[in-house]
Amino acid sequence: MAGPEKHSLTLRGHRTSVTLEPEFWQAFLEIAHARPCSVNALASEIDETRRPEEGLASAIRVYCLQHFRKPGA
């Protein structure tokens, strides 16, 4: 498993970056493609619903985990 990588995103017109392991980034891309929506749109959605004390990278990891734990995923 490779180390975490920094990725740039645009959330509601503001640039930010998240650091994710390649496996989580690939899962995140797969989810966005399957919805279909852009990575930025999906990240914005997650950002809007995450708890204030939760970082965006952590929220994305949890989102990916929950997505692939769903029956039929």
pLDDT along the chain (73 residues), means of 10: 89 95 96 96 96 95 93 68
- Say if residues 17 and 27 touch (Cβ distance below 8 Å): no
At residue 1, the pLDDT reads 62
Residue 51: burial class (beta carbons within 10 Å; 0-12, 13-18, 19+): exposed
Q: In angstroms, rounded to a whole number, what is the distance separating the alpha carbons of residues 12 and 47?
A: 10
Query: Cβ atoms within 10 A of the Cβ of 12, count?
Result: 9
Which pLDDT score, from 0 to 100, does residue 4 have? 93
5-69: CATH class: mainly alpha
Q: Is 9 helix (H, G, I), strand (E, B) or coil?
A: strand
Question: What's the pTM value of the predicted model, to 2 decimals?
Answer: 0.89
Domain boundary assignment for the chain: 5-69
Q: What is the pLDDT, as a whole number, of residue 73?
A: 60
Q: In angstroms, rounded to a whole number, what is the distance separating the alpha carbons of residues 24 and 28? A: 6
